[in-house]
Structure formats: structure tokens, C-alpha cells
């Protein structure tokens, strides 16, 4: 990849964005953040995303990617666990286009983070199956097979031993159930063993804020695949959104050239 693309990361508390150098995966300017509107209605969210984009005035041909914390299919929001339920069923991609007067590509936030780690971070240059798991309030997942992202996997909601995995293996469960690191690591290990049984990943990446403290629990895990912390931390969503938007623009241009 070469050139610059723009990424916006929609979160429950803030909406932030920045231009990204596609060769290095680094932000070319300091990111700009606006509080997520309350209530986070479709119009308010789209308007805020447009404001973040307008702050940087990206050139007309710069691809723009936007992450969303939920399932996204062709720009339409299907789940919105931590944002206003009025977003469900909305063509957020179209709403953002209406406010920003720019085409964007809207995608799941964990998918964007996983793609960023594959392109520039902990999984850079790795073949085979890469599983990224973000451990936070819930569990987000991204699955990449030989460089191809499988979107909207939502594997944090698997029922394991009769329980939703998020209930006992998310980082919030450690605090909610007052678990020490060893107790929580056992829960995470059980969850990741199930991921290995189903998917046979060659590499597992742990993301989310708890990845900064990986030395407290990763050495306690007993898995086949190597487990490493995410490298891009809080910038992964922005970087992945930009990189995916650029890749989609490249594929669209190739298709147009072959059919034109």
C-alpha cells in the first residue's frame, strides 16, 4: 500500500479520526476526537463523523473508512450493543455520505483493528489463520485467513459451558467477579481453547486495554498457538478503517478498469 487514507473510529464515549500513512500504518497528524453524542441517534452520529472528517479536509480522492462497534453489513448497522438502538437497521454509510458529502466504508470495529494488526502490527507478514480477540467490556473478534478478513465473526458471544463467553472471559468480568489474574486467566484460557478447537488459528492476538498487562495472564495460558499482545493499541481502529477503505477503493478501481 502507498499513499494516505483516512480513518474514523466510533466508540461509546468518543468519535475520533486521523489521516493514515498506508505504507507505515502511522498517523500523519494528531488524531481529533469529539464526544459521542447522547443520545447517539443515527443523525447525530453521522453528523459528528462528518465533523471529524471536515476537521482535516482530506482531498477528494482520499479513501475514508469508519468503524462501528457492532455488526455492519454493506454499511447497514445490524447490532448496536453500546450505542443507541435506533441505529439498528440504519444505512449509516448513507447517513454519513449525506452529512459529509463524501463516500465512506463503514465496518465493524474489531474487524478494523484485526486488519490493522495484520497489515502493520503483531501479525504483519503472517500466513495462515490469525485470530484477534479484544478483551474489554465485552469480547470482540477478528478472523483473518491468508490475508482475507472474515467480517462480523462476533465470536465473543459463543456459549461455552452453558454461559455466554463475555460473561466470564471479558476483562470486565475480572472486575465484576473480583477475580485475580490467575482465576481470570483460567477463564480466558477456556475461551481460547474453544477458539482453537473450532478455528485452529496459527496466531492469537490479544487486544483491548488489558493487552498492556499481558505479562500478568498470557504466561498462564495453555494453548497450541502463540499468543501475543496487539501492537497498535488505541490507534488500531483508525488505522484499520483507513487501510480497509483504501483496499476497497483499489479493488473497485481494478474492477472498473476491467469492465470499462
Where residue 145 sits, what CATH number does that domain have? Answer: 3.30.420.40
Shared domain for 39 and 102, answered yes or no, is: yes
Higher pLDDT, 209 or 42: 42
**Range 219-243 average pLDDT:** 95
- Report residue 260's pLDDT band, with 50, 70 and 90 as the boundaries: low
Shared domain for 84 and 130, answered yes or no, is: no
pLDDT of residue 188: 97
pLDDT of residue 1: 59
Indicate whether 256 belongs to any domain.
Answer: no
Cα dihedral 236/242/246/248 (nearest 10)? 80
Indicate whether 117 belongs to any domain.
Answer: no
Shared domain for 130 and 86, answered yes or no, is: no
Whether 259 has a pLDDT exceeding 90, the answer reads no
Q: What is the share, in percent, of the chain residues with pLDDT greater than 90?
A: 87
Shared domain for 142 and 83, answered yes or no, is: no
Q: What angle do CA 247, 248, 253 make, to 5 degrees?
A: 100
- Report residue 223's pLDDT band, with 50, 70 and 90 as the boundaries: very high
- Report residue 125's pLDDT band, with 50, 70 and 90 as the boundaries: confident
Shared domain for 101 and 196, answered yes or no, is: no
- Which pairing describes strands 64-68 and 4-10: parallel, antiparallel, or unpaired? parallel
**Range 109-137 average pLDDT:** 94
Indicate whether 238 belongs to any domain.
Answer: no
Indicate whether 36 belongs to any domain.
Answer: yes
pLDDT of residue 208: 87
Shared domain for 146 and 224, answered yes or no, is: yes
- Which pairing describes strands 227-229 and 203-207: parallel, antiparallel, or unpaired? parallel
pLDDT of residue 2: 62
Provide the CB-side half-sphere exposure for 70 (13 A, CA).
Answer: 22
**Range 164-173 average pLDDT:** 93
Among 71, 88, 111, the domain-final residue is: 111
Among 85, 111, 137, the domain-final residue is: 111
Indicate whether 60 belongs to any domain.
Answer: yes
pLDDT tens by residue, 72-116: 999 999 999 878 999 999 999 999 999 999 999 999 999 999 999
Provide the CB-side half-sphere exposure for 64 (13 A, CA).
Answer: 24
Domain of residue 27 covers 4-111
Shared domain for 131 and 105, answered yes or no, is: no
Indicate whether 240 belongs to any domain.
Answer: no
- Report residue 242's pLDDT band, with 50, 70 and 90 as the boundaries: very high
Shared domain for 164 and 220, answered yes or no, is: yes
Average pLDDT score over the chain: 94
pTM to 2 decimals? Answer: 0.92
Shared domain for 106 and 127, answered yes or no, is: no
Indicate whether 201 belongs to any domain.
Answer: yes
Query: How far is the CA of 208 from the CAs of 52, 65, 232, in angstroms?
Result: 23, 20, 10
Whether 206 has a pLDDT exceeding 80, the answer reads yes
Cis geometry, peptide bond prior to residue 39 (ω within 30 degrees of 0): yes
Shared domain for 165 and 79, answered yes or no, is: no
Shared domain for 22 and 68, answered yes or no, is: yes
Q: State how many domains the chain has.
A: 2
- Report residue 254's pLDDT band, with 50, 70 and 90 as the boundaries: confident
Indicate whether 254 belongs to any domain.
Answer: no
pLDDT tens by residue, 35-80: 999 999 999 999 999 999 999 999 999 999 999 999 999 999 999 9
Shared domain for 136 and 95, answered yes or no, is: no
DSSP state of 204: E
Amino acid at each position: 500500500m502507498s499513499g494516505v487514507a483516512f480513518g474514523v473510529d466510533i466508540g461509546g464515549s468518543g468519535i475520533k479520526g486521523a489521516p493514515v500513512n498506508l505504507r507505515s500504518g502511522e498517523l500523519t497528524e494528531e488524531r481529533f476526537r469529539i464526544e459521542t453524542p447522547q443520545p447517539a441517534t443515527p443523525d447525530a452520529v453521522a453528523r459528528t463523523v462528518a465533523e471529524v472528517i471536515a476537521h482535516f479536509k482530506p482531498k477528494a480522492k482520499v479513501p475514508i473508512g469508519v468503524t462501528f462497534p457492532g455488526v455492519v453489513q454493506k454499511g447497514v448497522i445490524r447490532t448496536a450493543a453500546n450505542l443507541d438502538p435506533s441505529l439498528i437497521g440504519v444505512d449509516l454509510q448513507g447517513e454519513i455520505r449525506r452529512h459529509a458529502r463524501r463516500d465512506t466504508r463503514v465496518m465493524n470495529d474489531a474487524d478494523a483493528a484485526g486488519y490493522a494488526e495484520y497489515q502493520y502490527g503483531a501479525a504483519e507478514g503472517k500466513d495462515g489463520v490469525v485470530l484477534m480477540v479484544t478483551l474489554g467490556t465485552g469480547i470482540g473478534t477478528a478472523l483473518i485467513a491468508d490475508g482475507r478478513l472474515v467480517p462480523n465473526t462476533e465470536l465473543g458471544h459463543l456459549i461455552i459451558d452453558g454461559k455466554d463467553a463475555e460473561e466470564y472471559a471479558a476483562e470486565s468480568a475480572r472486575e465484576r467477579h473480583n477475580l485475580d489474574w490467575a482465576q481470570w486467566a483460567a477463564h480466558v484460557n477456556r475461551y481460547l481453547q474453544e477458539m482453537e478447537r473450532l478455528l485452529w488459528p496459527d496466531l492469537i492476538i490479544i487486544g483491548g486495554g488489558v493487552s498492556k498487562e499481558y505479562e500478568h495472564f498470557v504466561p498462564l495460558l495453555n494453548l497450541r498457538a502463540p499468543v501475543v499482545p496487539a501492537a497498535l493499541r488505541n490507534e488500531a481502529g483508525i488505522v484499520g478503517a483507513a487501510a480497509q477503505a483504501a483496499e476497497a477503493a483499489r479493488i473497485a478501481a481494478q474492477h472498473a478498469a476491467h469492465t470499462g
